Structures are given as structure tokens and as C-alpha cells.
């Protein structure tokens, strides 16, 4: 699972200084998504809000993302995905579960319940320790505000207005 190998590189947050291989860049973005969702829940809870933040991962789903692969790589992906992956419809289930199920937990993270969380039906997913570091979360939140030019109102104000 890419998010478990990831780390946030604040000196190269948008790959503007160095573009690591796709896997490292993609992994960092997935970890940042998870950190942001957990931090949002922390802020919602702190403001006494009943709104919840959840996140999800599709596992390894067969989509058209590799539609233009050629040669050996296309054959390799074809065999590999049939053994380890699930179809796109099953890959969408964790997101639907996180968004609609009455069983989700505030700050919950959901993904496939199968081997290595690559395929299967929605279930709570393992949250890497890197995603729960509050100092990193606060810094990522601040960087998001800086990079987007948007300062998010304190939730205590946003939930009472």
C-alpha cells in the first residue's frame, strides 16, 4: 500500500524541486490526503461539530489508468492485476461506504478488507503512524492555506455562522 511507504517532504511538497519516481510522488499525495482528512476531523471535533470527515482508498482496482501501456509492461499488468486486483466497481465501494454508511467513525479510513488491503469489501483500513502526527498535520494545513491563498475560518466560527 503506497500510503504506508510515504512521507511528507515539505521541501518538495509539489515536486517542484525534484520529481521522484511516480510512486513516491503519488504516495506522498495519498498520505497528504489522509493527513488532511484526519486533521479536519480533529478540528471538527474540537469545535463540537457533528460533521465528520472520513477518507477511503480503492485498493488495487482495474481501471483504464494503464490503457496506453504497451509491450511487456501491458502483459505484465494484465496478469498482475487479474491476480491481485479487483474491478473498478469494487474499487469504488470504500469511497461510497465512507460517504454514506451509518457505521463509519469520525476520522475513519476505509479500504478493501482482503489481503494487504488490495481488494475486497469495505472495512476499516490501517492508518499509518505518519498520518497521525499532529505537528505534521498542522504544518500541512498551514502549507495548504499558503499555497492556495485561502485561510480557512476557525471551525468554531464556521459551525456557528
Q: Which residue among 19, 26, 109, 110 is the active-site one?
A: 26
Lowest mean pLDDT among 36-45, 79-88, 140-149: 79-88
What average pLDDT does the segment 107-122 reach? 93
CA gap 69, 54 in Å, rounded: 33
CATH number at residue 87: 3.40.50.720
Residue-wise pLDDT for 57-95, tens only, equals: 999 887 776 666 677 767 777 777 777 888 889 999 999
Contact indicator for 144, 43 with CB cutoff of 8 Å: no
- CB contact set of 101 (below 8 Å; sequence gap of 6+): 122
The parent domain of residue 90 ranges over 2-158
Average pLDDT over residues 93-112: 97
Distance of CA 141 to the CA centre of its chain: 15
With bands split at pLDDT 50, 70 and 90, how would you rate the model's confidence at 156? low
26 is annotated as an active-site residue: yes
In this prediction, residue 123 has a pLDDT band, given cuts at 50, 70 and 90, of very high
In angstroms, the first-to-last Cα distance of the chain is 40
Give the total number of structural domains in the chain.
Answer: 1
Amino acid at each position: 500500500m503506497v500510503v504506508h511507504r510515504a512521507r511528507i517532504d515539505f521541501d518538495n511538497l509539489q515536486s517542484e524541486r525534484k520529481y521522484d519516481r511516480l510512486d513516491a510522488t503519488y504516495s506522498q499525495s495519498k498520505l497528504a490526503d489522509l493527513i488532511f482528512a484526519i486533521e479536519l476531523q480533529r478540528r471538527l471535533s474540537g469545535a463540537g461539530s457533528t460533521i465528520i470527515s472520513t477518507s477511503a482508498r480503492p485498493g488495487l482496482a482495474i481501471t483504464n489508468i494503464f490503457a496506453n501501456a504497451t509491450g511487456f509492461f501491458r502483459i505484465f499488468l494484465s496478469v498482475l492485476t487479474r491476480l491481485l486486483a479487483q474491478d473498478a466497481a469494487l474499487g469504488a465501494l470504500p469511497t461510497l461506504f465512507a460517504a454514506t454508511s451509518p457505521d463509519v467513525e469520525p476520522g475513519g479510513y476505509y479500504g478493501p478488507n482482503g489481503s494487504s488491503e488490495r481488494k475486497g469489501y469495505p472495512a476499516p483500513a490501517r492508518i499509518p503512524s505518519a498520518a497521525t502526527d499532529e505537528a505534521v498535520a498542522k504544518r500541512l494545513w498551514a502549507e495548504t492555506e499558503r499555497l492556495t491563498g485561502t485561510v480557512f475560518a476557525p471551525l468554531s466560527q464556521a459551525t456557528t455562522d
